[in-house]
Homo-oligomer: A and B are copies of this chain.
Amino acid sequence: MNTSLYPQFSFDIQVQDLESRARCGLISTPHGTVETPNFIFCATKGAMKALRMDMVKQTGAQIILSNTYHLMLSPGADLVEKMGGLHTFMNWNGPLFTDSGGFQIFSLGHGSIASEIKGNRMQKSSRSLLKINEQGANFKSYLDGRQHLLTPEKSIEVQMKLGADLIVVLDECTPFHVDKAYTERSMEMSHRWALRSLEEFKRRSKDTQALYGIIQGGVYEDLRKASTGFVNEHPFFGHAIGGSLGASKQQMADVIGMTAPLLVRDRPIHLLGIGGISDIFEGVSMGIDTFDCVHPTRLARHGGALVQPHLLPEDKKTSSREHLNLRNASYTEDSDPIDPSCPCYTCQNLSRAYLHYLLKARELVALELLTLHNITFMVRLMMAIREGIKQKTLPSLRKEWCH
């Protein structure tokens, strides 16, 4: 790490597991410290959708992520800057991450974000994306149809106006279904964009933000190796593994396995867009320090409550399910809380029957109550993982939390 570029930031590894690549560390930022491994909750548009920021904080959540793409379109980076920056605007005074907008541009060109990155879907759609070329990405706003040009420099400018602690270079996020030649050309352009991002960052930096590089290369080992070499050679504060992680859990593990071990050890490693419980255990054991995903909060808004396997209904105990579907009629008269051991307001005060009823009656507060539970669940999971690394109990812990 080039410390002169990030004088107010540090990443300190405190414990290294000897039987895996798992490690515990501390990312220090001007807005506080993040214990790793940790999960970054998505406040996509500058709000946690169903939950107040002080409540997010009270769960023990240490860091959240907002989306450059959404915020640049509305309310706009200039307005956020005028209002004192994103921390002040949304009242989150802890560490904050913004992505570069690249992920969303990709989805405009290639289809639904989440399903695509995980390789579930092959659909093409380019209604909003006009053109990607060396300069950047031209696209139309989904809000008012106005045309925007997102360049590496513009992404850095916008992220500096938003003011997040951790920011990311602009990349083209390649999907699952494109061929190796496309993936390689795209990766090389992303590397050139990364250098432009870095230059713009250096030109504008006021030392209050730290820049992550992104590793591309799809599912191809030689490309991942090349991309890993590229980020290692440049003074990024941290590294994010992006692009296609393949079509299966095994392929995801393969991609992480061909990437993470080659990254310099003294920078934090983020895995973009992954949030399943078993995926997190897999990632942690391979050296990932932070994860982000809309999964826990989006699942909550669909009536899903994250639980450990022993709380699943009998017929789901051997499935890959990691949550209770509280919309299910089987909870109509269930007077138990989601999880009696969970300290959140929802579990301490309310029954599954009440939550089931609220969901059925479409009472808004149900979404808040489940969001609170799922964030609390993830906070406890990450705390248990950190403790497991320190106590060398990660393998048995994994059995407790996953099938």
Which residues of A does B touch, CB under 8 Å?
45-54, 74-75, 79, 82-84, 89-91, 332-333, 335, 345, 349-351, 353-354, 357-358, 360-361, 363-369
Contacts and interface: CB of A to CB of B under 8 A. Distances in A.
Contact of A354 (B54, B90, B365): B90
B83 A365 contact: no
A51 B361 CA distance: 15
Contact of A79 (B52, B332, B350): B332
Contact of A351 (B53, B89, B351, B367): B89
A79 B357 CA distance: 10
Contacts of A75: 332, 353, 357, 360
A332 B83 CA distance: 10
Nearest to A89: B354
Given A46-B354, A47-B363, 17 more contacts: A46-B357, A47-B361, A49-B364, A50-B364, A51-B365, A52-B369, A75-B357, A79-B332, A79-B353, A79-B357, A82-B335, A83-B351, A83-B353, A83-B354, A89-B353, A89-B354, A364-B368
Total copies of the chain? 2
A212 to B, nearest CB: 26
Output the residue of A50, A52, A335, A358 with the most chain B CB within 10 A: A52
Contacts of A48: 365
A74 B364 contact: no
A89 to B, nearest CB: 5
A83 B51 CA distance: 27
Contacts of A364: 49-50, 364, 367-368
A356 to B, nearest CB: 8
26 contacts: A45-B363, A47-B365, A47-B366, A48-B365, A49-B364, A50-B364, A51-B365, A52-B345, A52-B368, A52-B369, A54-B345, A75-B360, A79-B332, A79-B333, A79-B357, A82-B333, A83-B351, A83-B353, A83-B354, A84-B335, A89-B354, A90-B350, A364-B364, A364-B367, A365-B368, A368-B368
